[in-house]
Structure 1
């Protein structure tokens, strides 16, 4: 229950409040969650918000920019501030209301006229309402908890989007490098076929097949460059910047040589159901709806109010002063079953919010399960693709040497080059998947913060 404050303090606050100094007597700003920033996500060291784009841009810089500059962070913070102010509104119901009224009237009757002025200062204070105000405060506070949890969920979502966009931009840049390497290899194969054709030891078909492979490699490189530009635009958008913003990426850190991942998925799911901010928000919504039932029920119960204040009247020079004080008991008798159906509606809202909470709880389990399985697969793929690239590179070297020596066919060489290009792309995809699914698992557990980037060098999720 909110304590009643002396009327004198309230009046003093009203007198001295100025637009330059926000007046917050009920402390709503203190209830507002912190503005989304790198510090909310376990950023190590000082990380003040900035709009300056680092050159080159590292993953941690991308997250900083996303949390500081993305419009969605401002949106959820403003929503939390609005809900904190509504808690102040609910608490203010415990305070008395003071109203001043005044009238000035001139009466004219044929040849006679006189003036009449009245003024009154009325204090009204609701003393008893059978729990409505307490329930309103509980409702507003639970909605504030939900707003804060929603802000936390949004911060983690933006964190994940920034990382996904950054890793994808790095992957497409690597794909461009792989496509350029494939194009150089195809050019070397074409040169070898052209040389053998010019000395009469190769057929025109060999030269044409090598030319076709070179044209295809060039086309692949052009497409890869376009996808890389699109990925950079998507990254800029995720950081709250214009899509055409020029971004230079930092070199991708080397992945650990030995990567392993083994966890108890049941324990991960249980942990996620304790930590996920969207589930916390849903639980707070249920409690707010339960308080709404009390509010609806209280609207049909009696209220007791105190009213007091001085009056002043001047009728053509005759002044009358007075004072009044009294208690008012309001007992609702019949309101067209309004309260009955308000209570029913509020109770149904509790069921709605409870069902939404249960749905989110099930979704949390699914999110963790899928992210766990995806990360397990990506971890296994890292080692396999490393072996695949190594064997494909050796096969391509052997095939090129055999062809130049005249003991291999152009089809063998082109097949080996195609296999190498495919292996390199699969390696790039495996690295992208490993980075993204590590972040996705952390986000699905409600634990995505800067510690993930610190653990990257150790190969742990």
Structure 2
């Protein structure tokens, strides 16, 4: 099934559906001359996604679309379901084990006897059937099963917390990608406006030269500015396309999908935040998924210690079996088969029943239980330390996210003032240049500064929205489309 040599391509086989198989290639299959695999038509399809081409999707709509289509949410859901099933399996230890076995048998005896010179041959053959029903029930184990169930329950809690955390991360990823796409669109609009300004400057420069007020250098500089503006627009359009594809990837839909996205470039922002960071941190530690999962992990580790301790103690059990044998078969025992316990002393043409109540006391097993208890205690210690580490990391994330949000809001105010001043400067420089009293250097510098101010305002606005979503994620409160 493997490639024939390290420097020879693998020759795969393809089944009727087009999927590659590990079956050896037949002799009639020509050896592959390339390291390109054959195509599988089934791999070229995506999951069905219903998208209304006439609808304009806002952030809440995109998040709802992502939660319905992104594979991460389904993976987290399956993990939570498996953890719940594990808890159910742990609870089954309280219930009896019942199994049934049916056997058909043939017994043959061959022998020879000799008495006083006389010989006799004996050949016997017997057939029959045996049915066995057995029950095993652990009655009392000093809390070992209870501890194992508690650990399994905490495992289910951890998986459910992970499911919620996966949704919060998905909401954050879609939100940040949405804001990045909005910023990319605004940047594309800024470069379009800058291109228009550059063309206006170029027309003014040509007009000045035509009337004998300008120079060839001014016209060349204006044309250079137009070319730079066109290049900036091409780059901005490319960034917009990349941001759109990143948004589709965060949602979990095909990159060939066409979705109309709502514009939030003019969305108002709060002027400041009044809640102190220590209160923000306190609330965050109470609801962050990683902190709550670490607490559940610590509880599960403590339950593991209790289970390991209970393994040193006796266990009380009851075992019962009922048998029915027919025919001429006579067996001393039926060996264990699967969950069926071994059954002894079966006789032909008889009903039999056995009930055993007993206790098992662990005496010595080479230190296995001691090692298991030490491991359980080590896991409990590690879980406690991990909880402290998670809290410290969470506190750092919350404080940094809170600081970044304040900085972003301050940057928004600063860029607005910068944009206002840049627009006034550009308008004045352009008016002076058209009247022949301004220099080309002043108008070129003013136009470049205006574009930078526009982009800075766009980036600051997007960064503030993203910082707010990041702070909500860090606080564990990002449960829906962020306000």
Under TM normalisation by the shorter chain, which class is it? 0.7 to 0.9
Cα pair 1:138 1:288 within 8 Å, conserved:
yes
What is the Cα-based RMSD across aligned positions, in Å? 1.7
Equivalent residue, structure 2, for 1:26: none
How many Å separate the matches in 2 of 1:98 and 1:420? 82
Q: Aligned match of 2:153 in 141, 154, 166?
A: 141
Partners of 1:241 and 1:360 in 2: CA distance: 33
Aligned 1:45-84 pairs, distance under 5 A: 51-53=50-52, 55-84=55-84
CA radius of gyration, larger in: 2
Offset, 1:57 = 1.6
Pick the aligned partner of 2:311 from 299, 302, 309.
299
**Contact persistence 1:232–1:247 (CA under 8 A):** no
Counterpart of 2:87 in structure 1 is 87
The residue aligned with 1:173 is 185
* Correspondence 1:216 to 2:228: yes
* Alignment partner of 2:286 out of 274, 290, 297: 274
Match of 1:103 in 2: 103
User: Map of 1:200-279 to 2, 5 A cutoff?
Assistant: 200-252=212-264, 254-256=266-268, 259-279=271-291
Match of 1:333 in 2: 363
Could you list the structure 1 runs, at least 4 aligned residues long, displaced by more than 6 angstroms after superposition.
Answer: none
Structure 2 residue 384 is the aligned partner of structure 1 residue 354:
yes
Alpha-carbon displacement from aligned partner over 1:15-65 (angstroms, at most 9, x marks no partner): xxxxxxxxxxxxxxxxxxxxxxxxxxxxxxxxxxx8435621211111111
State the distance in 2 between where 1:108 and 1:211 align.
Answer: 109
Report how far residue 253 of structure 1 moved.
Answer: 6.2
- Contact 2:171–2:481 at 8 Å: present in 1 too? no
1:416 to 446, 449, 459: 446
Distance 2:124 2:232 in 1: 101
For residues 124 and 257 of structure 1, what CA distance do their matches in structure 2 show? Answer: 68
Distance between the aligned counterparts of 2:77 and 2:124, measured in 1? 64
Stretches of structure 2 lacking an aligned partner (at least 5 in a row): 1-48, 111-122, 330-347
Question: 1:361-440 counterparts in 2 under 5 A?
Answer: 361-440=391-470
**Do 1:233 and 1:245's aligned partners in 2 also have CA atoms closer than 8 Å?**
no
**Matches of 1:102 and 1:410 in 2, distance apart?**
102
Q: Distance in 1 between matches of 2:479 and 2:305?
A: 38
User: For the Cα contact (< 8 Å) 2:182–2:265, is it kept in 1?
Assistant: no
What's the offset of the Cα at 1:410? 0.5
What is the rounded CA distance, in whole Å, between the counterparts of 1:221 and 1:398 in structure 2? 24
Please report the TM-score for the alignment, with normalisation by the length of structure 1: 0.85
Specify whether residues 380 and 77 from structure 1 end up closer, same or farther in structure 2 by C-alpha distance, changes over 3 A only: same
Assess if the C-alpha contact under 8 Å between 1:106 and 1:115 holds in 2. Answer: yes
- CA displacement at 1:187 relative to structure 2: 1.1
Verify: 1:160 aligned to 2:179, yes or no: no
Deviation at 1:258, TM superposition (A): 6.0
- Tell me how far apart the structure 1 counterparts of residues 382 and 236 of structure 2 sit (CA, whole Å): 48
The Cα of 1:217 is off from its aligned counterpart by 0.9
What CA deviation, in whole Å up to 9, does each residue of 1:233-269 have, x standing for no partner? Answer: 0000111101232222112263337622222101111
Q: Distance in 1 between matches of 2:480 and 2:126?
A: 78
Unaligned runs of 5+ in 1: 1-49, 454-461
Q: What's the CA shift for 1:296?
A: 2.2
What is the CA distance between 1:297 and its match in structure 2? 2.5
Deviations 1:122-162 (A, max 9, x none): 11110111111101110000111111111111111110101
In 2, Cα distance between the equivalents of 1:67 and 1:278?
20
Task: Quote the Cα distance in structure 2 between the aligned partners of 1:257 and 1:348.
Answer: 49
C-alpha displacement of 1:198: 2.8
Contact 1:116 1:316 in 2 (8 A): yes
Moved more, 299-308 or 172-181: 299-308
261-270 or 402-411: which moved more? 261-270
**Partner of 1:198 in structure 2?**
210
